[in-house]
Amino acid sequence: MTMEKEKELSFEEALKRLETLVRELEQGDLPLETSVQKYNDGLILAKRCHDLLKNAESVVVKLAGADGLTDFPKPQE
Amino acid sequence: MERSPITVSALNRYLKAKFENDRNLGDILLKAEVSNFKRHSRGHLYFSLKDETSQIAAVMFAGAAAGLSFAPKDGDKVLVEGYVSVYEPSGQYQVYVQKMTDAGKGDLWLEFERLKAKLEAAGLFRADRKRPLPRFPAAVGVITSPTGAAVRDVIQIIGRRWPLATIIVYPALVQGAEAAESIVRAIRRANADRRAEVLIVGRGGGSIEDLWPFNEEAVAYAIRDSALPVVSAVGHETDFTIADFVADLRAPTPSGAAEIVVPDRKTMAERVSELAGKLDYVTKKTLKAARERLDSSLSSIVFRTPERLLEQADVRLTNLSDRLGRVRPDRTLASRRTAVAALEARLGAKIAAAVAAAGFRYGQVAGHLELVNPLAIMAKGYAVVRKDGRIIRTVADVAAEDTIDVRLADGAADCRVLSVRKDA
């Protein structure tokens, strides 16, 4: 895994990888060097997840009209 | 002839008098179905009374309603006693209900039960065809009226819980004769688009007639045929429709559906933190275990193994040389020499590889843990003392006149013990 690839991961993919990685580490039996590498990867993945959660501003709403997707008019409060 | 205009109030007052003076309208007994039932906060009941083709507004004032022996609701078949009159401010004529009794289930409910039984027999409600919902949908399709309360609630709740998702509204009519077909088209379009990963199909609360499109067979089959999982969200908690039975999941309301289809941002942040914590803990544990393993095996890996390999090689070499000396030179000397040379070369390569592997492994481990290299310690003036190959750690293990081996960073000295002194 490279840094570049992790920056583009969806939340789901990043979380799934993080979960897998923690499970592998918990099972042990990994060479030390691999453990350290996975630890570093895990830190990057956790940061990616947190960034995605933190940076999501407001939900994008589209209307599927006759001529494709358009912005949905803001609902009246 | 000259005519003078009258006011609207005068007209309504006149009509009201006409209604109330009519002998037939003053006391009626009506067989009907309740619809659009609403209970006003003051206890008055407002609803419609209907049959297959026609309906009329009705009101039952709190005083009369107090005498009811059942809780009327939409779809109830009832017998009504009362009179018809005009409500002057709106000019609307309506039935003023004085008595109302339950006359059994309404026809719409019978139709509902009939279709439900039919579709159930056709296998549309089977539990094994319910699909799981995606855990983190990138896009949620919402099939409902683009102007209703339902779409507003869904947008608000998904926006709060999981703004990472995109919402795609597929507009559909959700009441009236064309609603069922419109809903079917929207479900098919969402499936053709393949942008959304899960669909919410529904509308806000209303009368049984309002919700009826969601009891249509065509809608049921469209949900069955949808490749995208469908969450039904029709009306209120207490409303059940055919769509609810066919859908992969029934949500009690549109808001409920929004809560179901996306995860919660806060919960997920906690989950990620929990995983990061585990990551830290497990890695620290692994490093600690590795350090202990290294500590306990330093002497064998770093010192002994390469030397033992060298000793073994030495023995084999001596062996071969001896055998070489014993053979008759006139016969196989040349071939033996070649064999020995080959063996020597292979042995040398193996030893070198073993030493390199041990050194490499040590280097790796020591590098990660930033441990102090024992050879570096020796270079500072420390020595490893051995007797008969075993490391001496205490004066109790040596006696005067013993021969010991003192290993320094760059070589070894064979020594004889003069005397032994234990520190006080």
For the stretch B331-353, pLDDT in tens is 555 665 666 666 666 666 665 66
B109 pLDDT above the threshold of 80: no
- Interface A–B counts its CB contacts (< 8 A) at 116
HSE-CB for B352 with a 13 A CA cutoff: 6
Q: Are B95 and B56 in contact (CB under 8 A)?
A: yes
Which chain B residues touch A57 with a CB distance below 8 Å?
A: 163
pLDDT greater at residue B419 or residue B327: B419
Would you call A75 helix, strand, or coil by DSSP?
A: coil
Q: Are B70 and B60 in contact (CB under 8 A)?
A: no
Q: Which two tokens stand for residue B260?
A: 């179901």
pLDDT for B311 equals: 64
| A57 contacts B169? CB cut-off 8 A | no
Which chain A residues touch B195 with a CB distance below 8 Å?
A: 69
Tell me which chain A residue has its CA closest to the CA of residue B134: A12
pLDDT for B307 equals: 59
| B151 contacts A75? CB cut-off 8 A | yes
pLDDT greater at residue B285 or residue B255: B255
Report which of A33, A34, A39, A41 is spatially closest to residue B360, judged by C-alpha positions: A33
B100 pLDDT above the threshold of 50: yes
Average pLDDT over residues B43-53: 94
pLDDT for B370 equals: 43
Report how far residue A18's alpha carbon sits from residue B279's, in angstroms, rounded to the nearest whole number. 9
| Of the listed ranges A5-14, A20-29, A54-63, B113-122, the one predicted with least confidence | A5-14
Report how far residue B362's alpha carbon sits from residue A47's, in angstroms, rounded to the nearest whole number. 33
Question: What residues in chain B have their Cβ under 8 A from chain A's Cβ atoms?
Answer: 135-136, 138, 146, 151-152, 155-156, 158-159, 162-171, 189-190, 193, 195, 265, 268-269, 271-273, 275-276, 278-279, 282-283, 286-287, 290, 364-365, 368
pLDDT for B372 equals: 47
- Give residue B371's pLDDT band: very low, low, confident or very high (50, 70, 90): very low
B152 pLDDT above the threshold of 70: yes
Q: What angle do CA B266, B267, B272 make, to 5 degrees?
A: 95
Neighbours of B344 (CB within 10 A): 15
Q: For all residues of chain A together, what is the average pLDDT?
A: 83
B162 pLDDT above the threshold of 50: yes
Q: Which of B144, B153, B154, B169 to mutate to test the interface with A (most CBs of A within 10 A)?
A: B169
Closest CB from B167, B272, B279 relative to A39: B279
pLDDT tens, B187-238? 999 999 999 999 999 999 987 778 999 999 999 999 999 999 999 999 988 7
Is 0.95 exceeded by the ipTM?
no
HSE-CB for B85 with a 13 A CA cutoff: 17
A17 pLDDT above the threshold of 90: yes
Average pLDDT over residues B286-309: 66
List C-alpha distances in Å: A72 to A61, B196, B226.
5, 15, 24
Please state the pTM of the whole predicted model: 0.56
Angle between helices A11-27 and B265-298 (to 10 degrees): 30
List C-alpha distances in Å: B373 to A72, B83, B289.
66, 105, 18
> Looking only at Cα atoms, what is the longest distance across chain A?
59
Do strands B92-105 and B139-144 pair parallel, antiparallel, or not at all (unpaired)? unpaired
